[in-house]
Amino acid sequence: MPATPPTKVRRSALILGALVVLIALVIDQASKYWFLHIYDIAEKSPVAVTPFFNFVMVWNYGISYGLFQQDTDFGRYALVAVKIVVSIGLTVWMVRTHDRLIAVSLGLIIGGAIGNAIDRVVYGAVADFFHFYVGSFSWYVFNLADVAVVAGVTLLLYDSFLRHRGQDRDGRSSEGAEGRG
């Protein structure tokens, strides 16, 4: 069976990554629209779902874990600009990769970043709804864009540390590879 040309492999990975960006973005924005405009979480918050999980309405004016709170237009758009620059860099990486797992990982991160950037532009802050807690220990409140970013980073870490253990990037055993460059 002839080897798949690199451009076809790259195109396949890019199409998959772009599809993941679109899916992550649509799911994130649809869930936010539903919580904000149909379910009206702001009026109902908090809503106990289980003894350890609530739906709540939290506007995050900062970045992850509420760090670097920005309550000015300059700060808000500076965070949007950072997300755009990071998304462009990750998109360049996605365009260059031949690896489908990396393309999916990057697609999740890009889709999540764009979803949260849209919130900042439209609402001035990121809408977060999901709150896990155990007793008095409370995890941060998050949204589906955050889930996509964490899943994408987790997959990249898996790829970096575990996926190719004992193999080089072409799937060949790394034993006896001391002489290769």
Q: How confident is the model at residue 180 (pLDDT cuts 50, 70, 90)?
A: very low
Crossing angle of helices 100-123/144-158, nearest 10°?
150
* Structure-model confidence comparison of residues 163 and 162, the more confident one: 162
> Would you state the pLDDT for residue 75?
75
Q: What percent of the chain has pLDDT over 90?
A: 66
The sheet with strand 137-142 has its strands ordered as 47-50, 53-60, 126-134, 137-142
Query: Is 28 exposed, middle or buried (CB count within 10 Å of its CB: 0-12, 13-18, 19+)?
Result: buried
Measured distance CA(110)–CA(152) in Å, rounded: 9
pLDDT over 50 at 88, yes or no? yes
Query: Is 101 exposed, middle or buried (CB count within 10 Å of its CB: 0-12, 13-18, 19+)?
Result: middle
DSSP 64: G
Say which amino acid occupies 171. Answer: G
Q: How confident is the model at residue 3 (pLDDT cuts 50, 70, 90)?
A: low
* Contact (Cβ atoms closer than 8 angstroms) between residue 14 and residue 100: no
pLDDT over 50 at 24, yes or no? yes
Measured distance CA(103)–CA(78) in Å, rounded: 27
pLDDT tens for 107-158 read 999 999 999 999 999 999 999 999 999 999 998 899 999 999 999 999 999 9
pLDDT over 90 at 31, yes or no? yes
Query: Which residues are designated catalytic?
Result: 128, 146
pLDDT over 60 at 12, yes or no? yes
